[in-house]
Amino acid sequence: MKFIIKRDRLIAGIQDVMKAISSRTVIPILTGMKIEAKQHGITLTGSDSDISIESYIPAEEDDMVYVEQIEEGSIVLQAKYFPDIIRKLPENTVEIEVDSNLKVTIRSGKAEFNLNAQDAEEYPHLPKLQTDDSFEMPIDLLKSMIKQTVFAVSTMETRPILTGVNLKLVDKILAFTATDSHRLAKREIPVADANIEFQQIVVPGKSLNELYKILDDTEETVEISVTNNQILFRTKHLNFLSRLLDGNYPETSRLIPEQSKTKIQVKTKELLNTIDRASLLAKEERNNVVRLFTPNDSIIEISSNSPEVGNVVEEIGIQAMEGEELKISFSSKYMIDALKAIEYDEVIIEFTGAMRPFVIHPLNEDSILQLILPVRTF
Amino acid sequence: MKFIIKRDRLIAGIQDVMKAISSRTVIPILTGMKIEAKQHGITLTGSDSDISIESYIPAEEDDMVYVEQIEEGSIVLQAKYFPDIIRKLPENTVEIEVDSNLKVTIRSGKAEFNLNAQDAEEYPHLPKLQTDDSFEMPIDLLKSMIKQTVFAVSTMETRPILTGVNLKLVDKILAFTATDSHRLAKREIPVADANIEFQQIVVPGKSLNELYKILDDTEETVEISVTNNQILFRTKHLNFLSRLLDGNYPETSRLIPEQSKTKIQVKTKELLNTIDRASLLAKEERNNVVRLFTPNDSIIEISSNSPEVGNVVEEIGIQAMEGEELKISFSSKYMIDALKAIEYDEVIIEFTGAMRPFVIHPLNEDSILQLILPVRTF
């Protein structure tokens, strides 16, 4: 194997696949990065066996030459050293060459590294997914769906299924749902050209967080394919493969109240900042509880009390209110997470009493839903 | 006590004094921040008993009003909550008021915090230093002297005196010296108007690191006063007081070789980057050793070898060389630290053999000196 490659393009590819490489894997060769050279381009692969990422660098694209003098072959290099070496090389052109004894020579300017490598034959074969059963969506919309739901997954291993996000595609509606049983986040979008349906796909939250980081904010699309135990996200230069979680995701639709007793309309940012301030005194306490009170139909009062430290109270004007007066307590952290996930200027919050879950969604937009269980304090 | 203050100015003052406040102090009241209001302005104080910092916010300065409606008094607030509260308040105007029960009310916009506070009488009195025995120097020059020396202090408590920087002021020459017994950093400057002399002042490296962070990069001057066990750095709005280390600082001047057998002149940045690359393979090893070889009088060769990982070799052109051929090994970390501290484009390195300490200083500038002990490998 031999090739000469543009360093900045190689660095970008390395950064992507490094997100799947862990130094703590039980399979030693997975601490390495696989490099495969073909005449049409270079493929980098990293995997921790839960997530596998392939990044492709074409030899030529849009009249630019990225890789030259390619002699085909493949090798596995230690991921602990390789990225730093490439990042710190003196020139933007890098020559990588492998001899018959698995010795890799990396040259750039007057610097020459000789590294011990491993045989690519020993690297596990990634499962190849059928791409017949797939659908496409814009990358920015997928990122938005991840951002609006993944924070609500459980971090506790007591119910492993809740550490993932449930993906459903039924009647050409794609829904992402996440819950840790104290709150729930849900986002739906229509998918026009879907030729598949599924209900019980659960993708680990960790996988979606890594996918979110790796996807560029482009106008391009991502192709999503699903099997029983794997999901593949494919973009122009990237294959992102994740295992799925085993088990049945709980039926969440009956948790969502269908009517409300108190309904307020408020500016998202103003409510977020006020709750953030009120939570400052509650740092210590596990649930970080704040109280919301509706003294009349033009303001709400947010307050918090910590006997040791002191108390805080603040009023905010609201845009509209309907229904009964309300006093309710909830976790400021859950409320802040929910409001940050809603990328709209105004929200509607619908309460059905101080002890029932309440629902937040953007004004005039029901496809995004955040649900929070209150805390008993009043 | 009561006053109304501009929030951004208060935040800047809080940030400064927070550098002295530790949550792990043995004196509980030192986890707090003292606030003292006088008609002319507000003084904030933080201390961990090693370092004490006072930040002064004048009521008026340069025709700007920063503090209004001052009622004199003082109080101690929990530093764990106070800074975040001020930082997150909704408006740029903050009212702070203390009642007779040590309850502090903080108001801004519609937000109101009520905090439990402590009596300022219980806060330790900071020692007042005589300012007769003092000298002045530009702030940027003091920062440069700290940066060029403090990294070389010892981090080991086995010889506590080496964890500090030795300050000497003799014959109107101020010298900073730091050594961990494997390397030494020294910087001298002339001080025109000094009316004091001292030889055995040793300031903890930690204090100088905090002072470096807190001093703005301004054209202004800092006044330095010294007693047996304290040093005070005073700027327009800041008093920074540090205890001194007890004990005798070792005589370091005889460590510095007076002649050399090999002398090279090289571009600082180029040597730094090459050594940085060569050190990449030596991550694991304690000393991170790299080798330098002078094959002829126009290049040097930097190399490193790690049997497990591989090896690296790189040549760099040098500007000039005098004397004997040389092969020498040294810690890449010490060399990188030394070269980063030298803010000049070219350096002279003077060697007196592979087993003797070598000296680095900027071209045509002997007031900055870095000394490194080699490692026996050849």
Tens digits of residue pLDDT in A85-128: 999 999 999 999 999 999 999 999 999 999 999 999 999 987 77
pLDDT at B378 over 60: no
Third-level CATH fold of B138-167+191-248: DNA Polymerase III; Chain A, domain 2 (3.10.150)
Report the pLDDT averaged over residues B43-50: 95
The closest CB to that of B280, out of A84, A281, A309, belongs to: A84
Distance (Å) from the C-alpha of residue A94 to the closest C-alpha of chain B? Answer: 14
Distance (Å) from the C-alpha of residue B48 to the closest C-alpha of chain A? Answer: 22
Helix (H) or strand (E) holding B369: strand B368-372
Q: What is the DSSP letter of A129?
A: P
Tell me the residue ranges of DSSP E strands in B173-295.
173-179, 183-190, 198-204, 221-226, 230-234, 238-243, 262-267, 289-293
Residues 6+ apart with CB under 8 A from B183: B152, B331, B334, B337, B338, B370, B371, B372, B373
For residue A125, the model assigns a pLDDT of 86
Helices (H), B77-159: 82-88, 139-149
Mean pLDDT, all residues of chain A: 93
Q: Which residue has the higher pLDDT, A284 or B253?
A: B253
Q: Choose the mutation target among B312, B316, B336 for the interface with A, i.e. most A CBs under 10 Å.
A: B312
pLDDT band of residue B286 (cuts 50, 70, 90) is low
Tens digits of residue pLDDT in B127-178: 776 666 789 999 999 999 999 999 999 999 899 999 999 999 999 999 999 9
- CB < 8 Å & 24+ apart, contacts of B312-315: B312/A111, B312/A112, B312/A113, B312/A114, B312/B277, B312/B278, B312/B280, B312/B281, B313/A111, B313/A112, B314/A109, B314/A110, B314/A111, B314/A112, B314/B274, B314/B277, B314/B278, B315/A110
| End-to-end Cα distance, chain B | 70
> CA nearest A77 in B: which residue?
B309
Q: Choose the mutation target among A81, A272, A277 for the interface with B, i.e. most B CBs under 10 Å.
A: A277
For residue B285, the model assigns a pLDDT of 59
Distance CA A169, CA A184 (A): 18
Tens digits of residue pLDDT in A210-260: 999 999 888 899 999 998 789 999 999 999 999 999 999 999 988 899 899
Q: Choose the mutation target among A114, A299, A318 for the interface with B, i.e. most B CBs under 10 Å.
A: A114
| ipTM score of complex | 0.87
Tens digits of residue pLDDT in A135-166: 999 999 999 999 999 999 999 989 999 999 99
Report the pLDDT averaged over residues B90-112: 96
Contact list in A for residue B79 (CB cut-off 8 A) is none
> Span B2-122: which CATH code?
3.10.150.10
The closest CB to that of A114, out of B104, B310, B315, belongs to: B310
Read out DSSP for B272-341?
Answer: HHHHHHHGGGGTTSSS-EEEEE-SSSSEEEEEEEETTTEEEEEEEE-SEEEE---EEEEEHHHHHHHHHH
Distance CA A167, CA A165 (A): 6
Kindly state the tokens that stand for B159: 């010889």
With pLDDT > 90 as the criterion, what percentage of chain B qualifies?
A: 84
For residue A130, the model assigns a pLDDT of 64
> In Å, what is the CA distance from B331 to each residue of A140, A221, A313, B141, B253?
48, 50, 58, 29, 22
pLDDT band of residue B287 (cuts 50, 70, 90) is low
For residue B186, the model assigns a pLDDT of 97
Distance (Å) from the C-alpha of residue A138 to the closest C-alpha of chain B? Answer: 36
Cβ–Cβ contact A295 with B under 8 A: no
For residue B130, the model assigns a pLDDT of 64
> Span A134-253: which CATH code?
3.10.150.10
Chain B, 29 to 88: residues with Cβ < 8 Å from chain A are 78, 80-81, 84-85, 88
Find where tokens 């990122």 sit: A143
Provide Rg for chain A, Cα atoms: 25
Contact list in A for residue B104 (CB cut-off 8 A) is 310
CATH 3.70.10.10 matches A256-372: yes
> In Å, what is the CA distance from A99 to each residue of A115, A122, B206?
11, 17, 50
Judged by CB atoms closer than 8 Å, whether chains meet at A277 and B116 is answered as no
- Residue B133's nearest CA partner among B176, B193, B190, B195 is B195
Helix (H) or strand (E) holding A214: helix A205-214
Report the pLDDT averaged over residues B32-44: 97
For residue A195, the model assigns a pLDDT of 80
Kindly state the tokens that stand for B136: 């002045």
Judged by CB atoms closer than 8 Å, whether chains meet at A277 and B114 is answered as no
pLDDT band of residue B24 (cuts 50, 70, 90) is confident
Cβ–Cβ contact A309 with B under 8 A: yes
Judged by CB atoms closer than 8 Å, whether chains meet at A311 and B111 is answered as no
Contact list in B for residue A311 (CB cut-off 8 A) is 113-114
Distance (Å) from the C-alpha of residue B267 to the closest C-alpha of chain A? Answer: 15
Q: Choose the mutation target among A312, A315, A318 for the interface with B, i.e. most B CBs under 10 Å.
A: A312
For residue B254, the model assigns a pLDDT of 87
For residue A286, the model assigns a pLDDT of 57
For residue B283, the model assigns a pLDDT of 63
A51 in Cβ contact with A240 (< 8 Å)? yes
Q: Which amino acid is at B305?
A: N
Cβ–Cβ contact B315 with A under 8 A: yes
For residue A240, the model assigns a pLDDT of 96
B207 in Cβ contact with B176 (< 8 Å)? no
Domain boundaries, chain B: 2-122, 138-167+191-248, 256-372
Whether B2-122 shares its CATH topology with B256-372 is answered no
B194 in Cβ contact with B171 (< 8 Å)? no
Q: Which residue has the higher pLDDT, A129 or A61?
A: A61
Distance CA A37, CA A55 (A): 12
For residue A219, the model assigns a pLDDT of 80
With pLDDT > 70 as the criterion, what percentage of chain A qualifies?
A: 97
Read out DSSP for B102-120?
Answer: SEEEEEETTEEEEEE-B-G
| Count of beta carbons in the 10 Å neighbourhood of residue A157 | 8
B27 in Cβ contact with B114 (< 8 Å)? no
Judged by CB atoms closer than 8 Å, whether chains meet at B309 and A115 is answered as yes
Question: By mean pLDDT, which of A207-211, A292-296, A298-302, B124-128 is the weakest?
Answer: B124-128
| Count of beta carbons in the 10 Å neighbourhood of residue B363 | 16
| A257 alpha carbon, distance to own chain's centre | 27
Q: How many residues does chain B have?
A: 378
Residues 6+ apart with CB under 8 A from A11: A83, A86, A87
For residue B131, the model assigns a pLDDT of 61
Report the pLDDT averaged over residues A270-286: 85
Kindly state the tokens that stand for B6: 């501009």
Contact list in B for residue A111 (CB cut-off 8 A) is 274, 277, 312-314
Report the pLDDT averaged over residues A344-359: 95
The closest CB to that of B310, out of A116, A309, A312, belongs to: A116
Cβ–Cβ contact B111 with A under 8 A: yes
Q: Positive or negative CA dihedral for B264, B267, B272, B275? A: negative
Judged by CB atoms closer than 8 Å, whether chains meet at B312 and A81 is answered as no
